[in-house]
Amino acid sequence: MPPTPPPTKYPVPFFLHCRLAVPATLQTVLESPTLPKLRKARLTLYNKSAIHDSAVRYDGYLNAWGPDDEVKGVVYMLANPDEEEEIRNFVRPKCVIKHEEIEVKPKHLFGSKEVVWGKVFVCAPDNMANRTGIDICCLEIHG
């Protein structure tokens, strides 16, 4: 069954990896009094970039995917545009938001996985590390 189309209203699934996949870090970024609820997730047909250990890359030129062509992370349900902006302020500049299919682990042991449309940070074309792929921005905290 194909996933639903990209959401147009909040809450919206947002794929996070690196430091923002840590609940305490995301809590600080969002200035929330409670830890955010996160679900384990992955992006398929992506892999970690050789350019930077916490970035991921989609390489459409090779058309040959191995068993490790995925990036593990978490999904956070953005409650509103303000939360999205707070997260955007902490990622590397020159990123754009792209809609992607995200595979989300089931909530329960015997549940089935979900495939949802959600948002991910992708480097803008003029900020690509190389010509063979598009890097998902490393979610580095500026400080």
pLDDT digits (tens, 9 = 90+) for 86-110: 988 887 666 677 888 889 998 777 8
pLDDT, residue 1, reads: 52
The pLDDT of residue 27 = 96
What is the per-residue burial (b if ≥16 Cβ within 10 Å, else e) of 63-84? eeeeeebbbebbbbbbeeeebb
Q: Which residue has the tokens 């953005």?
A: 78
Q: What is the mean pLDDT of residues 35-64?
A: 64
Q: How confident is the model at residue 11 (pLDDT cuts 50, 70, 90)?
A: very high
**Residue 43 pLDDT:** 83
pLDDT of amino acid 142: 33
Domains along the sequence of the chain with CATH: 12-136 (3.10.490.10)
| Residue 132 pLDDT level (bands cut at 50, 70, 90) | very low
Structure tokens at 84: 């999205």
